[in-house]
Amino acid sequence: MRALVSVSDRTGLVELARGLVRRGVEIVATSGTGRALAQAGVTARLVEEFTGAPEMLGGRVKTLHPKVHGALLARPERDDDQADIARAGLELIDIAVVNLYPFRQTVARPHTFEEAIEQIDIGGPSMLRSAAKNAARVLPVCRPEDYPAVLRALDEGVTPEFRRALQARAFAHTAAYDSAIAEYLGQRGAEALPETLSLTVERQQTLRYGENPHQSAALYRFPGVAEPSVASAKVLQGKELSYNNLLDAAAAVGCLVDVPRSNEPACVVVKHLIPCGVARAASVLEAYQHARDGDPVSAFGGIVAHSHEVDRATAEEMAKLFLEVVVAPSYSADAREVLAKKKNLRLLDLPAVALPECSSGLGKLELRSIPGGLLVQSRDLALTDVRQAKVVSRRAPTEAELSDLALAWAVCKHVRSNAIVLAKDGVVMGVGPGQPNRVDSVRIAAQRAGARARGSMLASDAFFPFPDALLAGVEVGITAAVEPGGSVRDEEVIRAANESGIALLFTGERHFRH
C-alpha cells in the first residue's frame, strides 16, 4: 500500500506516519511534510522523486502531475485503466492524507492581499477531490482527528460506510475552503451583500430537539468568526443546552452589550427572546435583584446575563429562583460552590461579554430562512447615543432623565416590534413587546410597571404615527420619551409632548425587530 501525505496542519502527523509504516505502507510526501517526517526519523519518498518532476514556480506546482492524479484516480479493475496504468508507469496511491494551506488563519490576522492569495491552495484541494472521487479504492483523509480511525480500519478492514464518511468529509473540507476564499474576496468588493453568498458552517453539537420535541436541531458555527458569543462560551455545569436556551442566551448577551457603558454592573433577564428585566446598579447583586424584580413573574425559568463577575451573594440570590441559564464573564469560587447545588442550571463562562464588532463578513450578516430561500441583512450594530439625539420638545430632559432614556432606548432595540420600554432609576420597569399597534404596547409596558411607571422614561423602537401612544404614556406618568421620529404627524406628536410638559427626543434611527 502507498500513502500520499501533504499537510499544513501537522497535528498527529508523526504518530500517523509511524502507524502507517508499521503496517507496511510506503509514504510519499511533499517537501515540507517530508522534512517534518525526516526530523522525526520517519522515512518518506519525496513527491519530486515519485513524479520525476521537480517543484517549480516557487512551489506553486509540485503535485499537479499525471503520476499523482493518475495514481489517485486509477481504477485497476477496469481493462482500459489497466492499459493506461501500464503505459504511464503509475504507482497507485491508496491513502491520501491532505489538509490545506491555512487561508482562514492568514486572513484572520494582519496581512497583505498578496499574502492571502499565496495561501490559496491549489494542489491540496485537487488531490483531495481526486482521492474522494475515487473513494471506492482510495481513502481521502483531511482531518487529524480521523487518523486513529484510519489506522484501526487498516487493521480491522475498511468498510464501505467508512469510505463514504471520509469521502463526504473531504468534499465538505474543500467546499468550506473555497467558501472562505470567496467570502474573503467578496468582502473586498463594493457590495455589502454579494451576488452569490457562499455559506459554510460547522456543526458544533447536536441538540436534544428544536423548539419542540418533535423537531430535530443542531448548533452550527461559522468557522473563522472570532467574535465571542454564546456559541463559543464555555459550559461550566448543568444540563445540555437546548435550542431555546441558546436563542435566549444569545438574546440576553446581545441586549447586555448595548446597555449604556459604565463601571456599574449590569444584568439582563430574558424570557422567550424578550428582555423582561434589565438594570444597572452599584453591585452585581443589586443589578440582578432590580432586573429580576422588573418582572418577577416572567423571570421564573428565565436566562440571566451579567456584565461582571458573579459573587457569592449574587449566586445565593439567584439560587432562590428557578433559572435555565446564567451567562457571565466569570464566577468566584464561592459562587461556583453555591450554584453547583443547582444541578440542572447551565452556567456559561463568556469572558468577553462586552463584545467587539466582529470582523468576519459572515459574522456581520443576519440570516433568516423562509420557505424556499434566505433573507439576509447586515446585523443591527448601530445604536444612537441619546445625548446626541435631537430635543424636539420645549423642555429638555434632565441628566437623570437622559441616563434612563439611554437605558430604555438600548433595551428597546432588543424587543420585538412594536416595542415600548419604560425605565427609571437605572431599571427597566415595563416592556411592551410585539403588538400590532403601538398603543397596546404602551399599555402592556405600563401594566407590567404598575405604579412604578410614574416618573419613568419611555422608548419606542419606531416613530409614533399618531400622538395616542405617547399620550397613553403620559397618562401613566412618563416624564420623557425617545423615538426615531420621521412620521408625517411628527408635529402633532411634538405638540402633544409640549402640552403634556414632557421632554421628547428624536434619534433619527429606527430599530424594528420582526
Query: Which residues are identified as catalytic?
Result: 133, 272
Give CB contacts under 8 A, 24+ apart, made by 426-429: 426/264, 426/279, 426/280, 426/281, 426/290, 427/278, 427/279, 427/280, 427/281, 427/290, 427/291, 427/293, 427/294, 428/275, 428/277, 428/278, 428/279, 428/291, 428/294, 429/294, 429/453, 429/456
Q: Which of 456, 444, 183 is nearest to 298 (CA)?
A: 444
Tally of CB atoms within 10 A around 212: 9
Q: Which of 380, 272, 283, 265 is nearest to 328 (CA)?
A: 265
420, 431 Cβ separation under 8 angstroms: yes
Grid coordinates of 41: 526519523
Instruction: Give the amino acid at 487.
Output: S
DSSP string, 122-151: SHHHHHHHHHHHTTTTSEEE--GGGHHHHH
What are the residues facing 139 on neighbouring strands? 95
Strands 202-207 and 217-221: antiparallel
What are the residues facing 217 on neighbouring strands? 207
- Share of the chain residues as helix, strand and coil, in percent rounded to the nearest 5: 40, 20, 40
Grid coordinates of 132: 474522494
Residues in CB range of 361: below 8 A, 6 or more apart: 183, 184, 186, 187
Tell me the C-alpha to C-alpha distance, in Å, between residue 214 and each of 209, 217, 240, 370. 7, 10, 17, 20
Tally of CB atoms within 10 A around 491: 11
Beta strands in 99-201 (DSSP E): 139-141
For helices 66-73 and 79-88, the axis angle rounded to 10 degrees is 150
> Three-class SS of residue 399?
helix
Residues in CB range of 366: below 8 A, 6 or more apart: 376, 377, 378, 379, 380
- What span, in angstroms and rounded, lies between the C-alpha atoms of 46 and 31? 6
Tell me the C-alpha to C-alpha distance, in Å, between residue 316 and each of 84, 184, 285, 304, 312. 76, 47, 9, 14, 6
